[in-house]
Amino acid sequence: MSAPKFTTLTARCVVLPVIDIDTDQIIPARFLKVTDKLGLGEKLFCDWRYLDSGAPNPAFILNQPEAKGVEILVAGHNFGCGSSREHAPWALVGWGFQAVISTMFADIFKGNSVKNGLIPVVISPDAHAALVALRAKNPDLEITIDLPSQTVSWPGQTPLMFPIDPFSRTCLLEGVDELGYLQKFQPQAEAYEAAHA
């Protein structure tokens, strides 16, 4: 298993402006019986994306022609709240997303995302509103996320810095395997255990 890598991405986006999108919406619990990570992209936003008949809901953004080939999701405030299920970023990545832009992410979701190469990009409410307005006028709008400079930009927008944990950033840029990194500390862990026995 190789660690995910990310440097820079220029891609189109879709906008899902709903606030407080919880992980039960991203991937409903009934799909958590899998014992691997496969196939979850097909169930992403399942209950918003499909009608009761099972047919795609034409009103939902991911079912519209403009969603084809997009790699960035622009979502409302507090994206990924609720459960700790890592199936949420697995489903987003499985669908084809490489980044989510919001004004705030839930803590556990944020941590799970970077471990799967999905970049949580936080921008200010003003920048977010401007991006949503611009995207409404131009479905072909391309956003650039540049991890080395930790910036996000789009036509007419000078690069905006976004916060990301420096360790996560290094891991993503260099493909560092976090478990491998942690294993290096086993001597210290053993010393800790001996001192606390």
Q: Where do contacts with another protein occur on this chain (CB under 8 A)?
A: 1, 17-20, 22, 24-25, 28-30, 32-37, 47, 52, 76-78, 81-86, 104, 106-108, 111-112, 115-116, 165-167, 170, 178-179, 181-183, 185-186, 188-189, 192-193, 196
CB 94 within 8 A of CB 68: no
Q: Following CA atoms 105, 107, 108, 110 in sequence, which dihedral angle do they give, to the nearest 10 degrees?
A: 50
| CB of 76 or CB of 144, closer to another protein | 76
Q: Closest approach of Cβ 108 to another protein, in Å?
A: 6
* Amino acid present at 71: E
What SS3 state is found at 40? helix
| CB of 55 or CB of 65, closer to another protein | 55
Q: Closest approach of Cβ 47 to another protein, in Å?
A: 5
CA distances from 3 to 49, 102, 116, 168 (A): 30, 25, 8, 11
Q: Closest approach of Cβ 69 to another protein, in Å?
A: 27
C-alpha angle 137-95-140 in degrees, rounded to nearest 5: 20
| CB of 17 or CB of 139, closer to another protein | 17
Chain centroid offset of residue 133 CA? 21
| CB of 2 or CB of 158, closer to another protein | 2
Q: Closest approach of Cβ 101 to another protein, in Å?
A: 14
Instruction: Name which of 58, 60, 54 is nearest 25 in CA terms.
Output: 60
| CB of 25 or CB of 98, closer to another protein | 25
Q: Closest approach of Cβ 134 to another protein, in Å?
A: 17
